[in-house]
Amino acid sequence: MSLGYYFLLPVIFSFLTPYFKKLGSFTLRGSTILLMLILFLQTLAYTGVTLPQISEFSLKPPLGIAFILDGYSLLFLLIFTFSALIVSFYMVWFFKANKGRDEARFYVFFNMLIAGSIGMILSCDIFNLYIFFEITGICSYALSAYNKDKLGLESGIKYLIIGLIASIFIVFAIMLIYLQIGTVNLGLIAQRFGQIDPKISVLIVLMLFIGFGTKAELFPMNFWAPDIYQGSMASVNGLFSSVVAKAYLFVFFHLFYLFGLNSKYMLFVMVIGAITFLVSEFTALNQTNIKRLFAYSTLGQLGILFMALSTNSSATVSGALFHLTSHSISKLLIFLALGILIHKFKSAKIDILGNFKSGFLTIVLAIGFLSILGIPPFSGFVGKILILKGFALTQNYAAIAFILLVSIVEAVYFFRLTAMMLDKKRTKISVPIGFANYVVLSVLAVLIVLFGVYPSLLTHYTDLATNALLHPTNYLNYALGVGL
Amino acid sequence: MLEFFNSTQTIHTIIIIGSMCLFFIGFYGIATQKNLVKVLVSFDIMESALFLFFIGLHYQVGLVAPIVDSNLKTFTNMVDPVPQAMILTTIVIGLAVLALGLSFGIEYYKLTGRNDISKMNELRD
Amino acid sequence: MNSIFLLLNLLPILFLYQFEGALHVSLPLTNEFTLSLIQTPLGSFFAYLSLISFLLVTIAQKSKKLSFSYYALQFLLSLAMLAIVLAGDFITFFIGWEIMTWSSYFIISKSNNMNIKSLQKYILFSLASAFSLIAGIVIAYSFANSFDFVAISNSFESMPFNIKVALIVLFSLSFFTKAGVIGLHYWVVDTYSKAPDLFSSILSAVMSKMGIYGLFLIYGNIIGYHELKIMFGTMLNGTDFGYVLAWIGVATSIIATFKAITQDEVKKLLAYSSIAQLGYIVAVIGFGTSYGVAGAMYHTLIHTIIKLLLFINVAAIVAQTGKNKFSELGGLIYRTPVSFVMLLIGIIGLAGMPPLGGFASKFMMYNAAIDTKFALILIGMLFSGAASFLYCYKLVYGIYLGHPTSKSLESTKEVSIHYLIPQIILALLLVLTGAFPGAFIKVINPILKEFSLSTIGYDGLGVMQSAVGNFNGFFIISAFVVIFLLILLLIWRIKSKAKNNLNRFDISYCGEVPTADTSLHYGYGFGTELYRIKFVNAILKRSSSHFYESLATQTKKTSELFSRMYYGNIHNTMIIILLFFSALFFLGVN
Amino acid sequence: MVFQIILLIMLAYVVGFIYFGLYRNITARIQGRYRPTVYQSFYDSIKLFSKKQSVSYGWMFYLGPIIMATGAVLTLILVPVFSDSDFLRSVTSQGNLFVLLYLMVLGPLGNALAVGTGGNPFGVMGVVRGLTRLIGLELPFYIAVVGLIIAANSSDIVHIIDMQKIGGLNIINHPLLFIGAMISMVGFFGESPFDIPGAPQEVYSGPRTEFSGKFLALLMSQGSLFAFAKLVLIVDLFLGGADSLEMLVLKTFAIFVSIIFIGIVYGRYKVEQAVDFLMKLPTLIAVLGLARVVWFG
């Protein structure tokens, strides 16, 4: 299958949605599940082939448009398709529980969102990347405002305005690149980036940094992010946290390493990541809204990832990618589980965690919490220890101390929530969960444990990804059309 | 006199100055305006400035538009087609975002009667 | 359910049938990490401690209806502890450490007395301990390029001095937190007192010992006492390092002892006493001599036995009466006589009286201090020992002696047999450890060899030898029993009758006749007069809680401060982004 | 050996009661009032053994005095009475100073248990005061003992006696330690100014209120045995032990007299005052002695 279908199939399904809707909601839901299943299985199939893979359209690169799948994007592809599959299962329950919602509208944007995110990580020219960026953006604005209530629309508007700002920076950067180099092919850009006038290149880098950094929720540009999470549905939050934010992060570091930025930039990104981590974790302590709280937690984890990914040491980066995967799974689990509670209690106050009665939900949520905190034997632990190990190898003890100290702050609110769940003195109301959710949440929880006790399953892919990210020679050859 | 205007240099200068003016008008708009519609319009102005800038800089005197018709027999002596294609796409995207933004704005206005973006702060700490 | 988990608890013994080398497993986790389990004498010692403790507590738990999840978590906890003590590398150690943390957290949360604040206290201190540990681990890794104990131990010598110190501090902090050294003990009392009653015994008897195991591992195995001596130099006959550590331990012991005396809640008293006893161990662990290590080991064993005994005893009483304060208990001696005798044996051990095991361990520690000539340390330990008589007496008086404080206590029945069986076993163990100190030395000697220290002599099973004198436990205990029986016989033979079945109000009471309303059990309040002693008052009125509370307040303030930035104004957010860009631009271009 | 032990107990019993009689005599003389005979305590003890008990509070109430007596006898046989002879040497060689230090506390603990069982709140008050006083009281004594152990590098009393034969008496070599130990001894003998736990005038009757008959007699007897053992211990530690019965009586009597003279002269401290006092000057004196041993010995 050509890589193009990763983009094409969701788009086709998205356009067919009105017809599916006419055929009934079963078809609508089923078709999306089918689509995501196909994508996921296809991705699994790609794990067996030699990488990178390329699919060009009409012309060979560097002139034509092409999709390239290397180790780095394979990892993200796995995460995205898997998350999408999980969410599409979850939405079956959601729409059953919430009768009378406009299902078609959700699925249109959902499919397109996945198409856009996947496009972003596969595309090998910067302009296509921008288009996918915008597609992802538009779909996220729409999904964020899906509820069409006051809060939903407010978050949609906020997200849209921020998206506009980010896209102006990125368009500007792309134009400058084209003016300087005369190409949009990533391979050529990477090759010739060093020849640009340093002042212009600083400007380009800064603009890309601001553009993608804003979307990837880095500190001084992330004042909007918690609002968006608070206003959107829990399942959409799960998508934002484990797919959309990760896609922007992917692009950020893809460009970062392709352009071969020097250690000053690395230090800068690391400091920014650290500040993001610090501020978010502290702010999270003060939250009363559960979705908002986990939004801050997501920001914090992104902070760690930025810290670790900007080190250019394969040990740290590999750890960070492991952590990223584990975080995606855990956050998806948490947000989906919260969705069930929020639906039941019609409220997103923190107290709902103390008022439900369901051993299953308690266990899966606890697994999610412990995993994010990096406590063995859950997958977050492996990620965190790999990151710390990486920092230790470069003798960056300050980073280790920083991460560990702030992690204690993180533990404060995670365990406050856990203690609320376990508190027997509160009035407890039993929560119906639904068969689909039992399956979905158990799969996620089992994965978290599995990656925790048998990390080799995942380290194989993170090592591939690290290698592809830090040594993009193969990728460049393909992007330049040399190897074809 | 007119030849002066016909030189590539001059045209580029005019375009740069003009697009910069436009850009800063847009910039001024988003920095000061709080009405959602005005903000969106300001963004559009900024984007337009970028488009103008980009397209304009790729125009050179004596080159023809990259459209295959009687004037263009060989693929030489024409303006670089890539920026034009890019800008066309970007315009479409911009339009889509603008439309979405306006529709959000309208819905929001219907619900709350507000369109001041600085007062959209029900989502906050 | 209980029986199943009882059997499950016995399972690990299959793999630990020897004292050394019966177990050698390594599992590759990733291509970088390999989990390995190796049985060393030190590990086996602690492994057996924990196995036996869990076994006994599970027997006692038969008297309660506990859920499957409780037992499962407890079993997981026991496995985690085994992983800690049998680990051959730091990753296994840390995994065990963290599983121990959270499984115990979930067990504690099942208690009815628990509140969020105490749970938070417990988990945050545990995590702080774990994070300090992992920081040490990765720093060590950065030099050794391996998590293996042996590899790290080998490369330790070549590390820079400041890294060595940092490692020692980080590891020590972690293990001190678990053992509840003063200043880091803020969580201990609350947790022990609010945890499920029988689980408190595990917390105090086994989990705190994991901290001690860690200290042994670090000082003895990984760094090595010899290296510590080289690093820090010597003082008198010991090391500088050991001297500092000894003062930390002695301060812990003294402060906690005084705090224990003033507690009204039974389990709080036991918790403070636990801190104090671990203080002794910390005090001698750094001496770096055979006697120091042996003393610490011996006291570890004795403290485990005693704290299991006492906590199970108290748990039984609490279950029987529903009361957990000295001011609400009292006069149970003839209503629960077996429990009383068990507690009596327990406190005789706790006070370190001959002829029970408590004395043997103290004897070893004192000798270690004499051997190194740390006289003031020894005085401190003796002083804290003298003060500990007060809380020992309070324990027995407040629960069993004096008068019942309420009507319901007068009809209390003897506690369930499931509580008594482990207590009787433990009491016997306490007697045996007192009677056969030589046997213990036999067990310790392989561990001393592991630390490359000289071994200690023993003369048969009954005599423990030391540099400054021998202790014949067997003689002392037999002499005690013989004399006791003779005097008993003598007194028995002297005929004189007494009026039995006296009313409990028939006491001399200043010529008055006390009634049921008269407060006769006021002895429970003792400890209050300690506030009038200046030195003790200075200790008692200070508390680490101020520090931690203000830390919490500061964190909350910081959080609120940061939180103000996120006030939901998208217009300002835009402007901030633009300003940030301009700032970076000017910085970047220049 | 059994014969020797019985002999020793009888000796201690006789000497102890005679000393106690002398104490009452001397006190009465100094205070200018009528005195009982020297043998009065004997008579009391024998009389009490044959008397009926007036009250009983169950078996633990009985066990308390027996535990105390056990502690006293055990202490007695573990202290070497005669330094050069083989008298009970096989037994005394099994004990050492640490065992003795703790055995000395066994008595008060047994007492405390019995008193607690009795349920008399005043008795408990006395016990608590006693245990609180112990915090301060043990301190100088411990320091002194530790000093001696370090000086001799052995916790074996026989060894300490032998050391004094070679290097001179400890009272001369370590006077500061001796002073510290003596101040503690004043308290151990229940003398003023540290006699608050018994305090007959203040706590109505002290810890022994509820005892009568043979148990009171047992308490008295063990008290005299124990007093003798403590005196012998001091003699062993500081005065080089005693070769013969005359020397033993002489030395113990000297110690005893100096203790009661201190006791008679001073008034009574409250318990917190006692602890406060003991933690200051006596501790300081003893610590100075100790420092001398550790750093310059």
Q: Which residue of B has its CA nearest to C560?
A: B125
pLDDT mean over D124-145: 88
Which of A409-413, C558-562, D210-214 shows the lowest per-residue confidence on average (mean pLDDT)? D210-214
Q: Are C352 and D134 inside 8 Å of each other by CB? A: no
Residue C122 contacts A where some CB pair is shorter than 8 Å: no
Tens digits of per-residue pLDDT, A3-42?
888 999 999 999 999 899 899 888 999 999 999 999 999 9
Taking Cα atoms as reference points, which of C86, C90, C97 lies closest to residue C25? C86
Q: What is the structure's pLDDT at C457?
A: 86
Taking Cα atoms as reference points, which of C337, C209, C347, C189 lies closest to residue C255? C189
Q: What is the structure's pLDDT at A436?
A: 87
Q: What is the structure's pLDDT at C458?
A: 86
pLDDT mean over C479-500: 81
Number of A:C CB contacts under 8 A? 163
Q: What is the structure's pLDDT at C464?
A: 84
Domain ranges of chain D: 2-296
Q: What is the structure's pLDDT at D154?
A: 86
Contact list in C for residue A317 (CB cut-off 8 A) is none
Residue A66, SS3 per DSSP:
strand
Contact list in C for residue B117 (CB cut-off 8 A) is 570-571
Q: What is the structure's pLDDT at D216?
A: 86
**Concatenated DSSP letters for D175-208?**
HHHHHHHHHHHHHHTT-TTS-TTT-TTTSTT-TT
Q: What is the structure's pLDDT at B97?
A: 94
Residue C566 contacts A where some CB pair is shorter than 8 Å: yes
Residue B56 contacts A where some CB pair is shorter than 8 Å: no
Q: Which two tokens stand for residue A409?
A: 């702050």
Q: What is the ipTM of this complex?
A: 0.92
Q: What is the structure's pLDDT at B37?
A: 93
Which secondary structure element, helix H or strand E, spans residue C28, and what is its range? Answer: strand C24-28
pLDDT mean over C304-311: 95
Contact list in C for residue B118 (CB cut-off 8 A) is 569-572
Tens digits of per-residue pLDDT, B22-35?
999 999 998 899 99
Q: Percentage of chain D surpassing pLDDT 70?
A: 96
Domain ranges of chain B: 2-117
Q: What is the structure's pLDDT at D143?
A: 92
Contact list in A for residue C28 (CB cut-off 8 A) is 456
Residue A376 lies in a domain: yes
Question: How much is the mean pLDDT over chain A?
Answer: 91
Q: What is the structure's pLDDT at C273?
A: 95
Query: 0.80 exceeded by the pTM?
Result: yes
Tell me: pLDDT of A484 over 60. no
Contact list in D for residue C344 (CB cut-off 8 A) is 113
Distance from the Cα of C81 to chain A's closest Cα (Å) equals 14
Q: What is the structure's pLDDT at A239?
A: 94
Q: How far apart are CA A62 and CA A67, in angstroms?
A: 12
Distance from the Cα of C572 to chain B's closest Cα (Å) equals 8
Task: Count how many Cα atoms sit within 13 Å of the Cα of residue C52 in the half-sphere of its side chain.
Answer: 17
Q: What is the structure's pLDDT at B72?
A: 60
Question: Which of D:160-199 have CB within 8 Å of C?
Answer: none
Which secondary structure element, helix H or strand E, spans residue C24, and what is its range? Answer: strand C24-28
DSSP H stretches of helix in C352-416: 357-372, 375-400, 407-410
Distance from the Cα of C580 to chain A's closest Cα (Å) equals 7
Residue A266 lies in a domain: yes
Q: How far apart are CA C251 and CA C241, in angstroms?
A: 16
Residue A98 lies in a domain: no
Residue A111 lies in a domain: no
Q: Which residues of C285-319 are buried (b: 16+ CB within 10 A; e: fewer)?
A: bbbbbbbbbbbbbbbbbbbbbbbbbbbbbbbbbbb
Question: How much is the mean pLDDT over chain D?
Answer: 86
The partner residue sitting opposite A227, judged by closest CB among B50, B105, B123, is B123
Residue B78 contacts A where some CB pair is shorter than 8 Å: no
Distance from the Cα of D168 to chain C's closest Cα (Å) equals 21
Q: Are B112 and A171 inside 8 Å of each other by CB? A: no
Q: How far apart are CA C240 and CA D156, in angstroms?
A: 28
**Concatenated DSSP letters for A433-445?**
--HHHHHHHHHHH
The partner residue sitting opposite D55, judged by closest CB among C340, C499, C535, is C499
Positive or negative: CA dihedral D223, D225, D229, D235: positive
Residue B41 contacts A where some CB pair is shorter than 8 Å: no
Contact list in A for residue B56 (CB cut-off 8 A) is none
Tens digits of per-residue pLDDT, A360-385?
999 999 999 999 999 988 999 999 99
pLDDT mean over C129-146: 93
Contact list in C for residue A388 (CB cut-off 8 A) is 134-135, 138
Residue A322 lies in a domain: yes
Residue C30 contacts A where some CB pair is shorter than 8 Å: yes
Residue A317 lies in a domain: yes
Q: Are C479 and D77 inside 8 Å of each other by CB? A: yes
Q: How far apart are CA C172 and CA D59, in angstroms?
A: 49
Q: How many CB atoms lie within 10 A of CB C417?
A: 12
Residue C510 contacts A where some CB pair is shorter than 8 Å: no
Q: What is the structure's pLDDT at B73?
A: 64
The partner residue sitting opposite B124, judged by closest CB among C567, C571, C574, is C567
Question: Which of C:48-77 have CB within 8 Å of A?
Answer: 69
Residue type, A148: K
Q: Are A150 and B122 inside 8 Å of each other by CB? A: yes
Contact list in B for residue C564 (CB cut-off 8 A) is 125
Q: In degrees, to the nearest 5, what angle opens at C-alpha C318 toward C-alphas C312 and C323? A: 150
pLDDT-derived band of residue D128, with 50, 70 and 90 as boundaries?
Answer: confident
CA-to-CA separations, A384 to A283, C125, D7, D127, in angstroms, rounded: 22, 19, 75, 57
Q: Which residue of B has its CA nearest to A177?
A: B54
Question: How many domains is chain A built from?
Answer: 1
Question: How much is the mean pLDDT over chain C?
Answer: 89
pLDDT-derived band of residue D223, with 50, 70 and 90 as boundaries?
Answer: confident
β-pairing, C234-235 vs C238-239, is: antiparallel
Domain ranges of chain C: 1-219, 233-493+517-543, 545-589
Contact list in A for residue B86 (CB cut-off 8 A) is 127, 174, 178, 184
The partner residue sitting opposite A175, judged by closest CB among B40, B54, B111, is B54
Per CATH, the number for B2-117 is 1.10.287.3510
Is-contact A129 C541, C-beta < 8 A?
no
Q: How far apart are CA A331 and CA A323, in angstroms?
A: 12
Residue B30 contacts C where some CB pair is shorter than 8 Å: yes
Sheet holding C458-459, edge to edge: C458-459, C463-464, C471-472
DSSP H stretches of helix in A98-196: 103-122, 126-144, 150-181, 186-192
Distance from the Cα of C571 to chain B's closest Cα (Å) equals 5
Residue A346 lies in a domain: yes
Tens digits of per-residue pLDDT, A273-282?
999 999 999 9
Q: How far apart are CA D111 and CA C523, in angstroms?
A: 15
